[in-house]
Amino acid sequence: MDKQIPFNFDTYDLKEELDRLRGKVKKPNIFIAGATGSGKSSVVNHVFGRDLTKVAAGEPVTRGIHQFMSDEIAIVLYDSEGYEIGSARQQAYADEVIGFVERAQTKGAAEQIHLVWYVINASMKRVTPLDRALIKQLNEATSVAVLLTQIDQVDMDELTALRQELMDVVSEEAVFQVSVADELLNDPELRTHLDWERLVTWSVEQLDHSLQEGLLMEIHAESEAILKLKRKKANRIISGYVASAGTAAAVPLPFADAIALTPIQVTMSVHLFRYWGVKANDDMLKTLIGSTIIPQIGRALSKTILLTS
């Protein structure tokens, strides 16, 4: 029988574990489409709380479309260069976008486009025929959210008219009203007209369970509703480690399970800290787990044993 080596926290390679975890998280591919000036960058910056196109190096994957990916980001972003409304390039843009997405959907699951955010500037007060045609085609290939941006520039009637123009190309629940104007974001009553939270929730639900974690890791959680969603979805991460712990402990030898369990529980703790974006370097995380969490578990368990025996 193999001799089991006791878990040694001092020699536990947290960096290697973090690298392994980063590699394990499946990244959703999100495509941002829309005309020039529609507000694509503002959407990305608001939802993710930072300009991901600056964090990751952008590689052109085809004409006019850049892929932004990095080890530091749990999603892959595809950004299209856009087009001037009314320009000759409109149709070429549509062909490039739909061609790219349709080709991606024939590839393996990891390379497919899992979500499209199609951005339309509401202040233009119209949905162009090209927008409608493109949204319809994209919607046949993958999940498409239509984001009406700068809604602070239109009145309710104009907004209703815009939504009606989209009715036959995309379902009503996939249309989102957004704005990054401070007067809307900072006013509790006006904020109710914004769909930022609904956009995040809807987008997460469109993804396979294995891809949800990546998107939730990157989301800039600015509201209680999104934080609650994030907390709820973390149960899936925990469940995976619980299953491993159960398997590791199914050995009826005294203390054998403790040797196998500690690395599982330490890794789970690191995983959850990373999921929540806890700002701590690797050494600090190790200290937190080693000097704060593990002793508290020991104390709580001995207390429980004393109370129940």
Partner 1 sequence: MKFFPGANAAASVINATVASGITWAIGLAINEVAYRNAMDSSKTIEQLLDSDFGSLFEKFMEQNPVTKNKS
- Residues of this chain that interact with partner 1 (CB under 8 A) are 221, 224, 227-228, 230-231, 234-235, 237-238, 241-243, 245-252, 257, 261, 264-265, 268-269, 272-273, 275-276, 278, 280, 288, 292-293, 296-297, 299-301, 303-305, 308
Q: To the nearest whole angstrom, how small is the minimum distance from the Cβ of residue 132 to partner 1?
A: 39
Q: To the nearest whole angstrom, how small is the minimum distance from the Cβ of residue 196 to partner 1?
A: 16
Q: To the nearest whole angstrom, how small is the minimum distance from the Cβ of residue 307 to partner 1?
A: 10
- C-beta closer to partner 1: residue 106 or 235: 235
- C-beta closer to partner 1: residue 58 or 263: 263
- C-beta closer to partner 1: residue 14 or 264: 264
Q: To the nearest whole angstrom, how small is the minimum distance from the Cβ of residue 41 to partner 1?
A: 25
Q: To the nearest whole angstrom, how small is the minimum distance from the Cβ of residue 231 to partner 1?
A: 5
- C-beta closer to partner 1: residue 61 or 243: 243
DSSP letter for each residue of the chain: -PPPPPP-GGG--HHHHHHHHHHHSPPPEEEEEE-TTSSHHHHHHHHHSS-HHHHSEEEEEETTEEEEE-TT-SSEEEEE----TTSTHHHHHHHHHHHHHHHHHTS-GGGS--EEEEEEEGGG----HHHHHHHHHHHHHSEEEEEEE-GGGS-HHHHHHHHHHHTTTS-GGGEEE----HHHHT-HHHHTT--HHHHHHHHHHHS-HHHHHHHHHHS---SHHHHHHHHHHHHHHHHHHHHHHHHHH---STTHHHHHHHHHHHHHHHHHHHHTT----HHHHHHIIIIIIHHHHHHHHHHHHHHH-
Q: How far is CA 273 from CA 8, 224, 236, 287, in A?
A: 21, 18, 15, 13
Q: To the nearest whole angstrom, how small is the minimum distance from the Cβ of residue 290 to partner 1?
A: 12
Q: To the nearest whole angstrom, how small is the minimum distance from the Cβ of residue 215 to partner 1?
A: 16
At residue 29, the 3 state secondary structure works out as strand
In angstroms and rounded to an integer, the radius of gyration of the C-alpha atoms of the chain is: 23
- C-beta closer to partner 1: residue 22 or 228: 228
- C-beta closer to partner 1: residue 91 or 287: 287
Bridge partner residues of 120 (DSSP) = 148
From CA 154, how far away is CA 207, in angstroms rounded? 32
From CA 196, how far away is CA 296, in angstroms rounded? 38
Q: To the nearest whole angstrom, how small is the minimum distance from the Cβ of residue 280 to partner 1?
A: 7
- C-beta closer to partner 1: residue 165 or 197: 197
- C-beta closer to partner 1: residue 7 or 273: 273
Q: To the nearest whole angstrom, how small is the minimum distance from the Cβ of residue 286 to partner 1?
A: 13
- C-beta closer to partner 1: residue 157 or 224: 224
